[in-house]
Structure 1
């Protein structure tokens, strides 16, 4: 089991795109640790459905800094309105692959076509309380294109420095009692953005995959 306290005290990592690719190539994806599954296992008894998200990483041409595209869900959505998320959604039966799901949902949500990206690897699944096993697909954004946001799904987008997201000192682990059940989740703050739950958990999984490669 992951030692959450140890993680929160770990050093930041500042990988290049090539180092991220090497890290994801070097190891089989491991299911992402979700602390909530261990402290509230009764909430995770599901017939899980498949879903995918894209982690789009853009190397800024002027500085070389890596930035990650995050969406803010529409305030009118029935589920999780206003939350920060990666572009993505459920795997449809007609989707050719889980990678196709991530790219299709990105096109639908923010208007970025598949040819804007080079897929560089995958993380293990993150199983959520809502009954989805989510496959994170990591991609380098090789060309910038004008965004076209789906008004029904996306309120706005944010470009967040990857180095900020891969610094455990920017994480918090929060436990909260809801009814008779104690729930636990990660949270990352960036200016006025609150990145938490599934999205923060997937970022944690990305850190773990890269950091494991650094240590090997």
Structure 2
């Protein structure tokens, strides 16, 4: 069980690409802690389906600052319209690997080809209330390319500073009662973006992986 109050008071992290790679190499957990799954286990009784997201990280050429690509889902999508997410989607039986799924979805959604990236590693799976176990694949963007957004899936894209996402002071933990069930999730705000639910939970998992490795 994660001590959420302790996490919210933890120091910010500003890792290098190599430190991220080392943390992911050393990672041995199978799942990212999802507080909602623990306080509302009855909502997580699924036959889970596999999915993947890509966490694309680039170094700004002028400053060296690391930034993370996030998308805003199309406002016309049936599921989660307008929410902030990483590029990704469900694993198809034709996909050769879960890493291929993350790269394929990124190409389809924002037009960035697999050769734009060097894979750094993976986080544990994040199991969602919608019935997916999502594998986050972390990648460094090594080649710049013009974005080409899928109008059906992506409203806009945003490069958010990694240091902002890895600062627990920018997190909120929210519990909300819906009917008779109490739900819990993380939320991060950056400028006019509200990053919450699965996406914030995966960012929390990235923080945990890097922080745990820094203490080892």
Is 1:136 the counterpart of 2:136? The answer is yes
8 Å Cα contact 1:29-1:122 kept in structure 2: no
Structure 1 unaligned residues grouped into runs of 5+: none
Q: Helix, strand or coil for the counterpart of 1:163?
A: helix
Q: Helix, strand or coil for the counterpart of 1:108?
A: helix
The CA distance in 2 between the partners of 1:60 and 1:96, in whole Å, is 32
The CA distance in 1 between the partners of 2:31 and 2:49, in whole Å, is 15
Range 23-32 or range 132-141, more displaced: 23-32
The CA distance in 1 between the partners of 2:59 and 2:29, in whole Å, is 24
Map of 1:155 onto structure 2: 155
Map of 1:15 onto structure 2: 15
TM-score (norm 1): 0.99
Q: Helix, strand or coil for the counterpart of 1:201?
A: helix
The CA distance in 2 between the partners of 1:150 and 1:21, in whole Å, is 30
Map of 2:115 onto structure 1: 115
Q: Helix, strand or coil for the counterpart of 1:129?
A: coil
The CA distance in 1 between the partners of 2:186 and 2:197, in whole Å, is 6
What do the CA deviations read for 1:117-164 (whole angstroms, capped 9, x no partner)? 000100000000000000000000001100000000000000000000
**CA drift at 1:27:** 2.5
Map of 2:166 onto structure 1: 166
8 Å Cα contact 2:70-2:158 kept in structure 1: yes
- Size of the aligned set, in residue pairs, is 216
8 Å Cα contact 2:27-2:123 kept in structure 1: no
TM-score (norm 2): 0.99
RMSD: 0.5
